C-alpha cells in the first residue's frame, strides 16, 4: 500500500508501507465503555502558524473518528485531556464537536 506524505513546496511524496495491516474485529463487544482521546488531523499543506490558527483536515479527522466508532470506542470529545495545550482553540473545538454530533 502506498500513502502520500507531505513534502517540500506543498507537494506530496509517495511512501510504500511494508508488512500487513492489522485486522481489527469490527463489532466486538466490550464489557466496559472505552473512550478514545482521538487526535485531530492537521492539514500539512496549509501555510499557517499552527499555534495561532491550527489548520485542520476535517475530512481525515472525521474519517479517523468514524474508524474508532466502528471499533466500538466512544470519543472523549470536549474533555480537557483530548487536546490539552496543543494550540487547539475554542473555535476549532466547537467545530469538531458540531461535526462529531452531526
pLDDT in tens, 24-57: 777 767 678 888 888 888 888 888 887 777 889 9
pLDDT of residue 91: 83
The domain locations on the chain are 26-101
pLDDT band at 76 (very low <50, low <70, confident <90, very high): confident
Q: Report the run of H or E that residue 72 belongs to, with start and end.
A: none
Does this model's pTM top 0.75? Answer: no
pLDDT band at 61 (very low <50, low <70, confident <90, very high): very high
pLDDT of residue 16: 92
Within the chain, how many helices (H) and strands (E) appear? 2, 4
Cα–Cα distances (Å) from 24 to 19, 71, 81, 102, in that order, read 16, 7, 26, 25
Amino acid at each position: 500500500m502506498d500513502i502520500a506524505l507531505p513534502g517540500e513546496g506543498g507537494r506530496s511524496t509517495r511512501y510504500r508501507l511494508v508488512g500487513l495491516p492489522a485486522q481489527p474485529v469490527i463489532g466486538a463487544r466490550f464489557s466496559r465503555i472505552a473512550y478514545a482521546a482521538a487526535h485531530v488531523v492537521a492539514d500539512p499543506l496549509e501555510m499557517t502558524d499552527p499555534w495561532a490558527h491550527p489548520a485542520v483536515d476535517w475530512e481525515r479527522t472525521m474519517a479517523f473518528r468514524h474508524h474508532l466508532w466502528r471499533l466500538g470506542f466512544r470519543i472523549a470529545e470536549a474533555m480537557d485531556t483530548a487536546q490539552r495545550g496543543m494550540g487547539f482553540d475554542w473555535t476549532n473545538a466547537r467545530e469538531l464537536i458540531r461535526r462529531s454530533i452531526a
